Amino acid sequence: MAATVFAPASAAGPEEYLRGYVDSLLDTRFPGLGLRSQVISTDGTVRLTSRTCLGPSQKRDVEYLLGKTGQVKEIQWGLSTDCDRSDAAEQDKTEAEREAAAAVDVYALPEEELFGPLLADPRQPRFSVSYLHYRTSQNEFAAANAAFGEYFGLASGVFGSSGSSQVGIQGGVFALFNLEAPSSDLINADYWIGLPISYRKGPWSYLLRTYHQSSHLGDEFILGNPGINRVNLSYEDMEALVSYEWERWRLYGGGGYILNSEPDLAPKHLQGGAEYVRARAAGRLSFIAAVDVQASEELDWRRSRSYQVGFELRSNSLRRARLMLEHFRGHSPNGQFYIEPLRYTGLGLYFGF
């Protein structure tokens, strides 16, 4: 009697252990998606289901994370993960499964950012340093851009169960230095803080955020340019963006409206762009290319274009480092100098999730 009970349990032990490990890992890294290992085979094949359908970048992140465990060799995606076929999967669910899927769970401090950062946006909160050749209307010089910023998720799963939702906070400092000055003078520093609300279902993701930015000239720059016409630039802005992913591509667009500003600025502005990611294009390195285009009513809708191309390295978790060749052409993104035409080309190193 004992043999007939314990032999099957012992044989199923490694699979049950792997199932528990995979489910726990997915719950920790991707809360709110309802990812579950439905079938696990002895050869390391895992079949996954989810509460809501997933987009291409979400699937890539899951595949990368489970692949780094060394125990998962292949991932098969259930119908529930495919936005084009999730309705068919819904018909096969029991009433209990439907009720569980409809339940809204709130997760504190999620790691995943539902609306992915805009890779070529010069004012995306992140940690980065760039060496650039600056060309303004008055001079040329070697410059360094340093950014210190991050997105921090506060809670996910707060706006219904048909997709994934999240509330967070973003902050950043963007500093520009003149490397040809005697003490590598700080020219300008922009301080930025925002409250984003994001929503995602499959390849579609949405962002609504209100943020504040203030801009300040560096002391050395003021001392070296006594005749400078300082602008006390400060404003609060609300913007909305929508993003769509298709295989290796991502397209996004939207706009915003300045709620309050000093000096008084024309309020409307638009933004759009595209990104291409080829995972593991060269070993562990992924190839990335991105373009961001912005225009504002204040500058008579003249476009500013930012381009980046390079490679990304990922750790065993979701951390990433990118080495990017970058080029900008348009009006300066540095707050005090927003009226000035600017071109720059250089190399940047970016860190984040």
pLDDT at 3 (0 to 100) = 45
pLDDT at 96 (0 to 100) = 44
CATH node for 127-352? 2.40.230.10
Query: CA 95, CA 298: separation in Å to the nearest integer?
Result: 55
Q: 2-103 and 127-352 share one CATH topology?
A: no
pLDDT at 160 (0 to 100) = 62
Strand pairing of 285-296 and 303-314? antiparallel
pLDDT tens string for the chain (353 positions)? Answer: 444 444 444 445 677 888 888 888 888 888 778 888 877 777 888 999 888 889 999 999 898 888 888 888 889 998 888 888 756 555 545 454 555 455 557 788 887 889 999 999 999 999 999 999 999 988 999 999 999 999 999 998 877 667 889 999 999 999 999 999 988 999 999 999 999 999 999 999 999 999 999 999 988 887 777 777 777 899 999 999 999 999 999 999 999 999 999 999 999 999 999 999 999 898 889 999 999 999 999 999 999 999 999 999 987 667 899 999 999 999 999 998 999 999 999 999 999 87
Q: Which residues of 3-36 are buried (b: 16+ CB within 10 A; e: fewer)?
A: eeeeeeeeeeeeeeebbebbeebbeebbbbbbbb
pLDDT at 197 (0 to 100) = 96
Query: CA 64, CA 277: separation in Å to the nearest integer?
Result: 14
Q: Which of 142, 138, 165, 139 is nearest to 154 (CA)?
A: 165
Query: CA 204, CA 252: separation in Å to the nearest integer?
Result: 10
pLDDT at 168 (0 to 100) = 95
pLDDT at 186 (0 to 100) = 95
| Fold of the domain built from segment(s) 2-103 | GMP Synthetase; Chain A, domain 3 (3.30.300)
- Domain ranges across the chain: 2-103, 127-352
pLDDT at 8 (0 to 100) = 46
Query: CA 219, CA 217: separation in Å to the nearest integer?
Result: 7
pLDDT at 64 (0 to 100) = 86
Q: Alpha helix locations (H) across 92-228?
A: 95-102, 219-224
